[in-house]
Chains A and B, each alone.
Chain A
Amino acid sequence: MIATDNLLVQRAASADLRAFDVLVRRYQLPVFRLCLGMLGDEDDAQDAAQDTFFMAWRAIGRFRGDAKFSTWLYRIATNRCLKELKRRPQRTEQLPDLPSTQSPPDEHFEAIERLAAVATAVSRLNDEQRIPLLLREVEDLTYTEIAEILGVTMTAVKSRIYRARVELARQLVDQ
């Protein structure tokens, strides 16, 4: 039987390292993917994702279950990445998570170009638009969950995502 997040969180809060290990395995990809989308750099994303789980472990005793564990985790990851972005002198516009381009067949090459075009367009969005867009498009979260993670109203989330989508569409049309 697969243990629910809530059960694992309860056990982890009682210092059960195995339970926390399962949670890390369960959420490593979405957390790393979110950090990579926000920061654009693989090393920074790895540090941020590791810190997210470390901070989650330290705070897990205070997780009350009002929100889903995943939402809580995304909030920690988002705040960690925002701190990193604020620390940077200038935003880097690089999303290196693309497949290798060594001698690809034409079809493969076209696919890589398509993905690169989207990656570039997403990286050019400002943080206020890019972060909710990633949470919506990539992590498939609801508007309510995104509002909870970012600590803003649902109207603000809808507006930011709308503006991000229009800007993304504009860039894709121009390419």
Chain B
Amino acid sequence: MKRLWTIVRKEFIHIVRDTRTLALIALMPAALLLLTGTAVSGETGNIPMAVADQSKTAASRGYIDKFWTNGYFRLVAYVESEAELVRLIDQDQAEVGMLIPPTFGSDLATGQATAVQFYLNDTNPSNSVSTQLGVETISQMALQEMFFSQIGQSLGARRIEMPITTHVMGLYNPDGLRTNYMVPSLVAVILQVQALLLTSLAIVREREQGTMEQLIVTPIKPWELMLGKIIPYILVAFVNTVMIIAVAVFWFKIPVSGSLLQLLGLSFIYIIGSLGLGVMISNISSSQMQAMYLAVGVVLMPSLIMSGLIIPRLNMPAVAYYVGEMLPVTHYLAIINGIMLKGVGADFLWPAIWPLIALSVLFFAASVAFFRKRLR
């Protein structure tokens, strides 16, 4: 036990003496959230649209104006032809082009069916889907309005109401602001990166410096060394956690809907698991280079792709799904989103909590088991 604290104290000295690194360690995660959080906080909307109105009638102008009323689209240019629309999209000046045919006004006036053509930049599927949805919704609303006013006129100016209106309300992100959903996820990923950076070199660095050879000829026990290496970083990462959650709450104005205490407690378990994963990587690496490759290749990239951060996990092939299950960040994403956005408690989150605890124990046990007090 005394040896454990000796290691802890030594690691603390390493951290504190190197002031520049200390500053990086302390400030980087919060700074990273400020930066990346701002990048995802742009609300959807304000999509640039170019318009070619070949009809130039009151009806066509009325239809076009509907697109600017709720701020979802903004006009970048009026042009004359289809070719000009496509050119603007090619040049990334517009995301959408609207082509209203010359017959639009006359078709409507004579009660014939007419068509409007939209051109869409679909190089980024997730963007183009929401753009398309916006186009269809607004167009539908505009046409319904026109349709009913025409019917109303022909029936002698009587007011006509829509028989059914559909209301869809997002439960946890009612404003539809992307920030709300993404920021807690970013907290999870940034903490994962931080934990890996802190510990993935912890063991292998001493191996490369030659101090490990000196340590393994002492009576130190593997668990004392492993735990001694993790404890100081648990403290560091916990300070990071508090800071980064503060940035989410006070800067990005994301309220913690659930219990802050539960969030901090579960974050504590999460960082132990992530740090343990880093130490395990450090343990099986024989050089710092190897450790970096393992950290990025085996943990970081899967954490971004397989944790459900970007791509939903429900429909993933089994292999990808279970790789995701092995990552602490996968479970922590469910926890932090659950507590911050949904406001649910630990009782609801148990399916995510127990794997997190199990993984933390597993990684630590594996680190101790893999550590050999021999040179080869």
- The answer to whether A binds B is no
